[in-house]
Structure 1
Amino acid sequence: MSKATETVLEIDLRALEHNYLYLKGRLRPETGFLGVVKAFAYGSDSIIIAKKLEALGVDYLAVAYAKEGVVLRDAGIRTPILVLHPLPVNFDEMIECCLEPSLYSQKILEGFLEAAKRKVQKDYPVHLKFNTGLNRLGFVGSDVDYLAAQLNGREELKVASILSHLAASEDLNEKAFTQNQIEAFEKISVKIHKKLDARPFRHLLNTSGIINNPEAQYDMVRSGIGLYGFGNDVKIDKQLRPVATLKTVISQIHSIAPGESIGYNRAFVTHSPRVTATLPIGHADGIGRQYGNGKAHVTIRGNKAPIVGNVCMDMIMVDITDIDCQEGDEVIIFGGNHTANEFARDAATISYELLTGISQRVKRKILSE
């Protein structure tokens, strides 16, 4: 990896490939794999990540909203793309771009059916989302008769798959709850295969489900955070490689006398002589105010430098009193030995929030073979 001369998010495609092959290796050979690339591929670069996953042979990609899928299609991605949370305003564009909706309510189903009629579609692939306990989106088991009445004999739509989403697969204390979800999905699957003319494939597991519930892998699994290097389990994290490393540089060094304050609202006041470094990254770049005032630290020449004072919009200040460094030196915000998971945990949040919050104004640098 090269030295940073500005704030940059390095995206390591070698790590992505390693993670994909590791997760695939935990599955049956015939089990399909869906790579989740929503939210700019968890804050990295959705086009670059999707192209790499396509080259690796993923069966599906998934985004949250139609606009994300349109961007991928415009970039030349041809792999099937599942839209997890489609909205009626985007139905026509989705059809034009061959994006496959996850249908989760009567309104969404009937609206998409009408759009498919208007666009004169035949066997357009759709997916039926069932709520088995997350209570976020989805039909319920008692909707199967309604779905059969709406879809059987229709030439406009073809049900490609049915899916649900586990609520707590990473929490082994919730194994009973997860098992209840798996059993509920199994009952729905049996009923769907009896009532529906089509015989859709099935997918339920997320990254933690792949790790903890491989018996329920069905026909395909979906992985998001695992592809980017985090398995919600310390043992699994050691087997994965973080894809993203956030780096910056020291802009200026200050010697601070006792009794002086640092940053907005005088949130930090020195009690002894201190030396601080100002870094060109702030909450507009995704390092929120919750990381300030000693909650989190960065790494400079292998040493921990805690963030002092409030995080500013475009800058943070760190304590380098005991670190031999100079202006222009590289700073690791997260990555390497101090992962995004650890950085986030210091401020009582999660890697998902930190990674997806990295601003698009931060330069992306792609590391490949």
Structure 2
Amino acid sequence: MANIGETTLEIDLSALEHNYRYLKSKISDSTKFLGVVKAFAYGSDMVAVAKKLESLGTDYLAVAYVKEGVLLRESGIKTPILVLHPQPMNFELLIYYHLEPSMYSPRILKRFLETAERLQTTDYPVHIKFNTGLNRLGFWENDVEYIMQHLEGKTAIKIVSIFSHLAASEDSKEKAFSLNQIECFTKIAKSLDQLLGYKPFRHMLNTSGILNYPEAQFEMVRSGIGLYGYGNSAAIDAQLKPVANLKTVVSQLHKIEPNESVGYNRAFTSDGYKTTATLPIGHADGIGRQYGNMKGSVSINGKPAPIIGNVCMDMIMVDVTGIECKEGDEVLVFGASSSAEQFAASAKTISYEILTAISSRVKRVLIDP
């Protein structure tokens, strides 16, 4: 196995392309595609991922915050960028960088309209977020007339899309709830169209929605986790390729005798003769303490090595008893052959969390054949 020399997050852009094309194959040719690149592109490399998606022809990108969109613009990204959770203090910056805000509440709409009018914009593109059941952000169904009252006679902004978010699109037990959300959103869109006199494009589906509710793709879909190789089900995961491969190395091997302890607070005590490996990765790199004490394992020379003892700030220790390995050998924490979903499940969490937790001090290496 190759020696990478240090903890590294490999970002496989060919896997990203594969996932993009797979998801595109599930929608109509006329349906727009939005790639979600917030949170450093789910913990990978936001600029590299955005540039790849732009080269593939994605119609929109989405970030959570204005500063993420600014980074993309300053890196040369020209594709329209939707900011999902903008704050008023950043509205001027948002307009300067030609970012497109989500209007999700009366306060945000009022404040953005004031800023746009002061800066003398005309038909500045905004997206209206409606809450249909997730109860996180968004206007209510009965806010349509309120929105129209505030826009009457105004030319500073223009609604280019309306959108919502399914709460449980991956859960077949919640199908009735999801269908009710779709029906509610359709009703809102019809009402707004009639009052506006034109039709903003609509989008509601996330990755699981694309796969489970294709009839509700409307004019655009949004994909985040699917682009990075995870589809919220084992069957879909098999069709996708993980973009991020987290690797590290064996720093040192130890021979442990019966009843010897390993790590802080003596959290692990050996029940026999063991060989342990210390790896240069810890909770400062994104491997939380919940992964210690036999929760979570890494792969060394193709074999699982469980994490033992408490995760340290800069190190974890794993049991390599019976595994042929030496100091300097490569270790796979998660990736193509041992997924982040499996790693996360060992600590009863989800792939999103472990992917986005990988800290900035971990070296990023782009793979783009």
Q: What TM-score do the two structures reach when normalised by structure 2?
A: 0.99
Which residue does the alignment assign to 2:238? 238
Q: Write the deviation string for residues 278-308 of structure 1: whole angstroms up to 9, x where unpaired.
A: 0000000000011110011000001110000
Alignment partner of 1:30 is 2:30: yes
Is the contact made by 1:152 and 1:197 (CA closer than 8 Å) also made in structure 2?
Answer: no
- Please say if residues 274 and 319 of structure 1, whose CA atoms lie closer than 8 Å, have aligned partners that are also in contact: yes
Aligned residue in 2 for 1:225: 225
RMSD: 0.9
Q: Name the residue aligned to 1:130.
A: 130
Deviations 1:178-225 (A, max 9, x none): 000000000001001011244210000000000000000000000000
- Structure 2 equivalent of residue 100 of structure 1: 100
Looking at structure 2, the residues matched to 130 and 198 of structure 1 have their Cα atoms a distance apart, in angstroms, of 18
Could you say which residue in structure 2 is the equivalent of 1:77? Answer: 77
Partner in structure 1 of residue 59 of structure 2: 59
Does residue 157 (structure 1) correspond to residue 157 (structure 2)? The answer is: yes
How far apart are the structure 1 equivalents of 2:238 and 2:253? Answer: 35
Which residue does the alignment assign to 1:259?
259
Query: Deviation per CA, 1:121-176, whole angstroms, max 9, x where unpaired?
Result: 11100000000000000001110001111113211001010000000000001000
Is 2:317 aligned against 1:317?
Answer: yes
Q: Map 1:1-369 onto structure 2 (within 5 A).
A: 3-369=3-369
Q: Secondary structure at the match of 1:283?
A: coil
Letter in 2 for 1:15: A
Asked if the contact 2:42–2:352 (Cα under 8 Å) also holds between the matched residues in 1, the reply is: yes
Q: Deviations over 1:63-119 (max 9, x none)?
A: 001111000001010100000001111111000001110001110000000110111
Distance across 2 between alignment mates of 1:21 and 1:53:
11
Query: Could you list the runs of 5+ residues in structure 2 that have no partner in the other structure?
Result: none
8 Å Cα contact 2:37/2:49 also seen in 1: yes
C-alpha distance in 1, partners of 2:77/2:152? 31
Contact 2:261 2:267 in 1 (8 A): yes
**Retained in 2: the 8 A contact 1:159–1:198?**
no
- By how many angstroms is 1:3 displaced? 4.2
1:161 maps to amino acid: S
Other structure's SS at 1:29 match: coil
Q: Counterpart amino acid of 1:345? A: A
Partner Cα separation in structure 2 for residue 279 and residue 358 of structure 1: 15
Structure 1 unaligned spans of 5+: none
Amino acid at match of 2:78: R
Are the equivalent residues in 2 in contact too, given 1:20–1:227 (CA < 8 A)?
yes
Give distance in 1, aligned partners of 2:202 and 2:299: 44
**SS of aligned partner of 1:205:** coil
Bigger drift between 195-204 and 131-140 goes to 195-204
Asked if 2 retains the 8 angstrom alpha-carbon contact of 1:19 and 1:229, the reply is yes
